[in-house]
């Protein structure tokens, strides 16, 4: 019988179970992190889109107040406007100021059917 040399040993080829479990743990953790990043980005884009459209509705109302629909002090108006494939509800309030030359306005915008306002604009108009 031949004896093997003591320095020679049988080498295992492949990965051990612990190495496979560690690799799967790292892979699953990175997938979860990427999924959460994509999800939060989508939510941020949706909120930014709503904010942008509601701001444009407010800007349109301000332009109409300056040109066609002149306000009167102590008056409130509401209405709807379509923009960005959605219907937006707007509410305008006009108040007097310490001087008779200015009217303070407040415009609140929200998506139709939603309770929370998504945009608020305040400012002053010259009382003509």
pTM of the model: 0.70
Domain coordinates in residue numbering, the chain: 17-126
In this structure, whether the domain defined by 17-126 belongs to CATH 2.60.40.180 is answered with: no
Distances (CA, A) of 24 to 18, 29, 74: 10, 8, 66
Mean pLDDT over 72-100 rounds to: 91
Higher pLDDT, 50 or 3: 50
Identify the pLDDT of residue 127.
81
Q: Which residues, at least 6 apart from 45, have a Cβ–Cβ distance to it below 8 Å?
A: none
């Amino acid at each position: 019988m031949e004896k093997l040399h003591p320095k020679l040993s049988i080498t295992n080829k492949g990965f051990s179970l612990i190495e496979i479990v560690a690799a799967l743990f790292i892979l699953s953790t990175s997938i979860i992190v990427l999924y959460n990043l994509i999800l939060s980005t989508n939510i941020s884009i949706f909120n930014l889109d709503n904010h942008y459209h509601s701001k444009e509705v407010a800007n349109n109302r301000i332009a109409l107040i300056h040109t066609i629909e002149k306000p009167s002090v102590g008056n409130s108006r509401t209405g709807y406007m379509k923009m960005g494939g959605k219907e937006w509800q707007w509410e305008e309030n006009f108040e007097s100021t310490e001087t008779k030359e200015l009217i303070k306005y407040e415009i609140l915008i929200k998506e139709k059917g939603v309770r929370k306002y998504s945009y608020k604009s305040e400012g002053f108009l010259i009382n003509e």
